């Protein structure tokens, strides 16, 4: 009996194995769970094959043209009835239409067998439908539909919810060649729409376009689960239903930089600049330092877009600029960028000194004209330092020595005898000649010792400085190359400025100043060409490749420069004669 059962089991297993080997896909179908479909709601596309097929055999990418493609789930089912094995593979993909109209679900090929294409109809969302029972829907708003390049656009998405949600997530809008970032926290409030109360979750995004042209801003996509009261629940477990929604797309036109604009591109609705003095500007004295802080503020931009503040000073004062500090904050969904530059000023001479006017050009996006944020010229009266006036010396007065008094007891006098004159000996010098010689020799010895110790210190400092510069150059170059490989245009400018500043041995130097110091006209043209292509309508990839090739040649020349004397290490075991 036992052997008979084992024989039957082996026969059954062999039949299953042979059936799986001989099985093949002969029928593939595609269906949707609803048709027609509302503009902002989701539907499910189901593709079924009558065999066990790998999950990767179904490719939903042809649907991306007309639909938002959500998650795809794969399930398999095997049935054995009277030794007849049936296998089924099923794919379910969540789709949301992008526009209103008729769209074709294309044919899908699974293991050589194709589905039949068919048409679905997408209907607009009517106000009546909205008011009567739309449980969840999304509305979108855009602050401007026509802006300039790199001008901030405020985009608002509102999720209207009239049911109990168990979970949910809302994506960000999508647009090509733009920087998108959520600003501020979500706002939550209630509002009555079409006679029905909704809980509204409002989320604001900032869009900064990086290329001119007309773009389609694809609306955010919501995916969540809501309680389904129409389905019976068991025990503590509530029945839920997956729900997906998408908002209405918006179109954005981005205008390029005007041809007649020749300054640093700073598009904004308002820009201002002011200065503050740490000290009394009206009571300055020669040699006394005072700190001036310049603050540049612009609305609708981020800190990376702010230019350096160019300020000129007369030769009668010395200036020591500090490292600039910049930040970006959010105010009512709008970015406010600020840059602060502090400069220590020390007057050299007294008198009236004129501090020239400071002008920062910017482009007014409201008027479409170039404007200037200015600080007027200022005249400052510098006082002379105490103790620098010339002192008037009084002329020497010849004082005649008085004759000493003599006592009549010590010497007899006669009427005809003159009073003897007593001449005093001149005083001896305070130091003798030998003392002066010893002093000079001692000072020379002290000077020789100081020079020797100073040379050793300078040598060590030079070695340390050379090593640190070499390490900084390697680190800055690595960041620059990585940004170029990933086409990270946002950080590439900063890394290029840092690397060139290291080569110029001035870490705080700007990009323009470093390019000017290198005196390489070819490099200057390539940097200008790259930024023109990046902020214009052309492709910046080719100009970036050409720029990186030139930078590699410059780096090779930098590495081939002779080493600083004293940086070579002496051999560990020198040869002895």
pLDDT of the residue at 301: 93
No. of H helices and E strands in the chain?
A: 7, 31
Q: Is the pLDDT of residue 11 over 70?
A: no
The C-alpha atoms of residue 496 and residue 484 are separated, in whole angstroms, by 10
Q: Which of 323-332, 338-347, 487-496 has the lowest mean pLDDT?
A: 487-496
Q: Is the pLDDT of residue 526 over 60?
A: yes
- Predicted TM-score of the model (pTM): 0.55
Cβ(215)–Cβ(251) under 8 Å? yes
Q: What is the domain class of 127-255 according to CATH?
A: mainly beta
Identify the helix (H) or strand (E) that includes residue 291.
Answer: strand 290-299
Q: Which fold has domain 22-123?
A: Immunoglobulin-like (2.60.40)
Q: Which of 68-77, 333-342, 358-367, 406-415 has the lowest mean pLDDT?
A: 406-415
Q: Above pLDDT 70, what percent of the chain?
A: 75
Q: Tell me the backbone φ, ψ of residue 522, rounded to 5 degrees.
A: -65, -45
- β-pairing verdict for 213-217 and 178-182: unpaired
In the chain, ranges of CATH 2.60.40 domains: 22-123, 267-383
The C-alpha atoms of residue 399 and residue 297 are separated, in whole angstroms, by 75
The C-alpha atoms of residue 483 and residue 534 are separated, in whole angstroms, by 14
Mean pLDDT of 506-515: 72
| pLDDT band with cut points at 50, 70 and 90 for residue 204 | very high
Say which CATH architecture domain 267-383 belongs to. Answer: Sandwich (2.60)
SS3 484: helix
Mean pLDDT of 215-229: 84
Q: Which of 16-20, 135-139, 159-163, 224-228 has the lowest mean pLDDT?
A: 16-20
For 78-103, write each residue's pLDDT tens digit: 877 777 778 888 888 888 887 888 99
For 230-265, write each residue's pLDDT tens digit: 555 555 455 777 888 888 889 999 999 999 899 999
Q: State the DSSP code for 196.
A: E
The C-alpha atoms of residue 102 and residue 69 are separated, in whole angstroms, by 17
The C-alpha atoms of residue 255 and residue 184 are separated, in whole angstroms, by 27
| pLDDT band with cut points at 50, 70 and 90 for residue 412 | very low
Residue pointed to by tokens 């060139």? 500
Residues 510-540 as b or e (16 or more Cβ within 10 Å = b): bbebbbeeeeeeebeebbebbbebbbeeeeb
The C-alpha atoms of residue 299 and residue 362 are separated, in whole angstroms, by 11
The C-alpha atoms of residue 166 and residue 186 are separated, in whole angstroms, by 18
Q: State the DSSP code for 231.
A: S
pLDDT of the residue at 153: 94
pLDDT of the residue at 543: 76
The C-alpha atoms of residue 380 and residue 346 are separated, in whole angstroms, by 12
Q: Is the dihedral of CA 329, 331, 334, 339 positive or negative?
A: negative
In the chain, ranges of CATH 2.60.120 domains: 127-255
């Amino acid at each position: 009996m036992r052997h008979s059962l084992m024989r039957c089991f082996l026969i059954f297993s062999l039949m299953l194995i042979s059936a799986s080997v001989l099985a093949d896909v002969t029928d593939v179908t595609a269906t949707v769970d609803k048709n027609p479909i509302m503009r902002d709601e989701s539907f499910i596309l189901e593709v079924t094959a009558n065999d066990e097929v790998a999950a990767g055999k179904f490719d939903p990418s042809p649907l991306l043209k007309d639909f938002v493609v959500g998650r795809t789930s794969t399930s398999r089912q095997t049935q054995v009835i009277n030794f007849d094995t049936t296998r089924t593979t099923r794919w379910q993909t969540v789709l949301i239409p992008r526009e209103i109209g008729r769209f074709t679900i294309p044919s899908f090929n699974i293991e050589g067998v194709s589905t039949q294409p068919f048409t679905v109809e997408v209907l607009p969302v009517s106000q009546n439908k909205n008011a009567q029972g739309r449980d969840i829907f999304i509305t979108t708003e855009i602050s401007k539909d026509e802006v300039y390049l790199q001008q901030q656009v405020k985009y608002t998405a509102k999720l209207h919810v009239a049911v109990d949600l168990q979970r949910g997530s809302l994506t960000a809008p999508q647009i090509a060649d733009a920087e998108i970032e959520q600003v501020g926290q979500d706002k939550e409030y209630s509002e009555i729409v079409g006679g029905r109360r909704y809980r509204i979750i409002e989320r604001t995004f900032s869009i900064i376009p990086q290329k001119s042209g007309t773009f389609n801003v694809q609306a955010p996509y919501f995916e969540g689960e809501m309680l389904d009261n129409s389905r019976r629940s068991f025990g503590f477990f509530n029945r839920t239903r997956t729900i997906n929604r998408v908002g209405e797309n918006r179109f954005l036109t981005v205008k390029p930089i005007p041809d007649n604009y020749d300054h640093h591109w700073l598009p904004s609705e308002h820009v201002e600049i002011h200065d503050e003095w740490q000290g009394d500007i009206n009571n300055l004295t020669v040699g006394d330092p005072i700190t001036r802080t310049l603050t540049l503020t612009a609305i609708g931009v981020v800190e990376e877009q702010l230019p350096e503040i160019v300020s000129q000073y007369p030769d009668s004062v010395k200036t020591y600029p500090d490292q600039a500090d910049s930040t970006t904050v959010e105010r009512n969904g709008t970015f406010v960028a600020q840059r602060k530059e502090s400069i220590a000023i020390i007057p050299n001479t007294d008198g009236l000194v004129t501090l020239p006017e400071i002008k920062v050009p910017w482009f007014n996006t409201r008027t479409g004209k170039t404007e200037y944020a200015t600080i007027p010229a200022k005249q400052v009266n510098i006082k002379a330092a105490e103790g620098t006036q010339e002192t008037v010396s009084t002329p020497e007065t010849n004082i005649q020595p008085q004759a000493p008094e003599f006592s009549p007891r010590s010497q007899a006098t006669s009427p005809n005898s003159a009073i003897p004159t007593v001449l005093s000996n001149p005083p001896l010098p305070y130091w003798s000649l030998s003392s002066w010689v010893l002093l000079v020799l001692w000072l020379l010895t002290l000077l020789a010792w100081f020079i020797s110790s100073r040379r050793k210190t300078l040598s060590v400092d030079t070695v340390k400085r050379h090593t640190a510069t070499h390490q900084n150059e390697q680190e800055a170059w690595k960041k620059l190359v990585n940004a170029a490989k990933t086409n990270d245009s946002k950080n590439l400018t900063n890394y290029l400025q840092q690397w060139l500043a290291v080569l110029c041995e001035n870490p705080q130097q700007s990009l323009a100043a470093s390019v000017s110091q290198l005196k390489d006209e070819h490099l200057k043209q390539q940097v200008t060409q790259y930024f023109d292509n990046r902020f214009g309508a052309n492709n910046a990839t080719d100009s970036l490749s050409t720029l990186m090739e030139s930078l590699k040649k410059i780096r090779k020349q930098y590495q081939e420069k002779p080493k600083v004397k004293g940086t070579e290490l002496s051999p560990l075991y020198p040869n002895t004669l």
